Structure 1
Amino acid sequence: MQTVIQSKTKAVKIDNQGIFTIIGESINPTRRKKLIETLQARDFEYVRELAVTQIQSGADILDVNVGFPGVDDVSLLPEVVKFLNENFDIPLCLDSPNPKAIAAGLAVAPARTLVNSVNGEEKSLNALLPIIKEFGAVVIGLVMDDNGIPNDAEGRTSIAEKILERAEKSGIPHSDVVIDPIVMAVSADTGAALATLQTIEMVHRSFGVNIILGASNVSFGLPDRDTINQNFLALAMYAGASCAITNPVKATSSIRAVDLLMGRDQYASRFIKNFRLQQKAMETAKH
């Protein structure tokens, strides 16, 4: 199944039978004091820096989150969206728990945008799905509901089914819903990653929809996080995941290697292209 996200002139196809899609995670104020300070000042040059680094490192889409305590995200999110659209030609993923901020961001987005996220709670479904339909957006469906996050794959898959059914009733096709099976920290629960992988397999087998991961969550609280993240991503890709919100600086080389090994990169073209980009970036950094 293909899910299309667009910018002014580019289209990115999230495809569970094709090349893995990388969504850059860095435009997010969580644990980024400098980003909070510059966003508060409505100074977007650091946003530009983060965008450039991620694009040069292989990001296909940029996640945009401007949430921090006291922020007026209804006014700030569309400002950042406009800035990115004026300076870059790359599809965006608008990341906010505030439906009003999402609507404001979609109103200034030039084309088909990804939204992070709706979940199985009635409040979330009722607030977000009409906005997604109105703007012709694509939405991430997070497998939690009014009872929280199920511990097992069956419970999470049941919520995925509910989200897909409610989206369809709202006029949103399955191809415009990307399911997030929820990645939890293995430092808190050693079975967390396995539950996510089993959910990926079950959702992929049951519905054939695209599946997204917040991949970096798996290693929270542990040393050598990059090693954990990259190995988890490889397992998730084999299980059926189509895309991830992750750090492209750290993850792209590993992802492109897995694409190649899974037979999805004809003549190793993507892998070689990424290798050359990384070599060029290293040479530039030396000078």
Structure 2
Amino acid sequence: MLFTEAAGPVIIGERINPTGRKQLAEDIRRGSFAVVRRDAKAQVAAGAQILDVNVGVPLIDEPAAMRGAVLAVQEAVVTPLCLDSADPKALAAGLKAFSGKALVNSFSLEPGKAEAVLPVAKRYGAAVIGLTIAEGGLPTTARERLEIAGRLVERAASYGIPRQDVIIDPLALAAGAQPEQVRETLQAIGLIKSELGCRTSLGISNISFGMPNRGFLNAAFLTMALAAGLDLAIINPLDERIMDTIRAAQVLLNQEGSARRYISIVGAKKLVHNAAVVTAAVPPSTSAVSAPIVTASKNTAAQDSVRRALYDAVMEGDQGGI
């Protein structure tokens, strides 16, 4: 798996998760994985660089479902995967089916968690996400998160997993319930990176749980996390506000090539918008014969504009514009 030294964050697409998604849950339960394939393609097209795969549907054979989902995703796209399960058998089945280095989500210092996950990750050469949760529960300060992170690295090392394969999640907790924890999480990002040399990840949407207009909170928190140095963001890449936030933040953080990418993508969006306006503005024809010709001409111009926008995005190497 490539974590890349280029401008961050690495985007982990979160949509292959049946929680609150009845159609996806049924798709996984039936073993057809058509929705899984569709979501995989859509997320990669939108800019996801890693796909999280969670098949946690009640009363199913989770190892078989994880294997099927991993195979289905690999048929649809070529991208690293983050296997998301608390079941070591499901993780093993998915890792065995995956052709590449995967990321495992996740382990912690809670009783039995590391012992269940780390041997499987080591066996298949996977990287791991470590949640900063200790035996006594959730941390309350940035320093506590740092201390737990250090222990997570040590625990992984005891199983032969190197520091560079341990991604630390300092926990984004619901701001509506624990607003004071937002600052602690952001401070922990910098501490973990500077004192441990570890990459960091966060599930961005956790911050807005239980709140209205969640997208605004998610985007604001993501901006703050990027400024703090966040490396991997678990997000919904189909949320245009979130993706625009990432691109804008990269410009303001002076990341190499970000301004050119931003200009290119904004230009491509304008072309697509203008093409849609042109198509919608085609007047009804008074001639039954000439109407298809006029419409076809207008549609061709619109399609050419869209194709040009897509071509420019591809040439810029920017998946988010595709």
Whether 1:264 and 2:255 are equivalent positions in the alignment is yes
Whether 1:194 and 2:172 are equivalent positions in the alignment is no
| Structure-to-structure mapping, 1:115-264, within 5 angstroms | 115-250=104-239, 251-264=242-255
Alpha-carbon spacing, 1:70–1:240, altered in 2? closer, same or farther (3 Å): same
Alpha-carbon spacing, 1:276–1:126, altered in 2? closer, same or farther (3 Å): farther
Q: TM-score, normalised by structure 1?
A: 0.89
Which structure carries more strand by proportion? 1
1:13 to 3, 9, 23: 3
Cα distance in 1 for partners of 2:13, 2:269 equals 16
Q: Mark the structure with the bigger radius of gyration.
A: 2
Alignment correspondent of 1:31: 20
CA contact (8 A) 1:180 1:212 kept: yes
Alignment correspondent of 1:99: 88
Q: What is the RMSD computed on CA atoms of the aligned residues?
A: 2.1
Question: Where do 5+ consecutive residues of structure 1 fail to align?
Answer: 6-11
1:86 to 75, 87, 102: 75
Cα distance in 2 for partners of 1:170, 1:142 equals 17
| Structure-to-structure mapping, 1:28-67, within 5 angstroms | 28-67=17-56
Aligned residue pair count: 276
CA contact (8 A) 1:22 1:60 kept: yes
Alpha-carbon spacing, 1:98–1:281, altered in 2? closer, same or farther (3 Å): farther
Cα distance in 1 for partners of 2:276, 2:79 equals 23
Cα distance in 2 for partners of 1:277, 1:220 equals 33
**CA distances 1:166-190 after superposition (whole Å, capped 9, x unpaired):** 2122221111010000111111112
CA contact (8 A) 1:200 1:241 kept: yes
CA contact (8 A) 2:50 2:81 kept: yes
CA contact (8 A) 1:118 1:139 kept: yes
Paired-residue identity, % = 39
CA contact (8 A) 2:247 2:258 kept: no
**CA distances 1:228-257 after superposition (whole Å, capped 9, x unpaired):** 111101111111210111011221121121
CA contact (8 A) 2:64 2:90 kept: yes
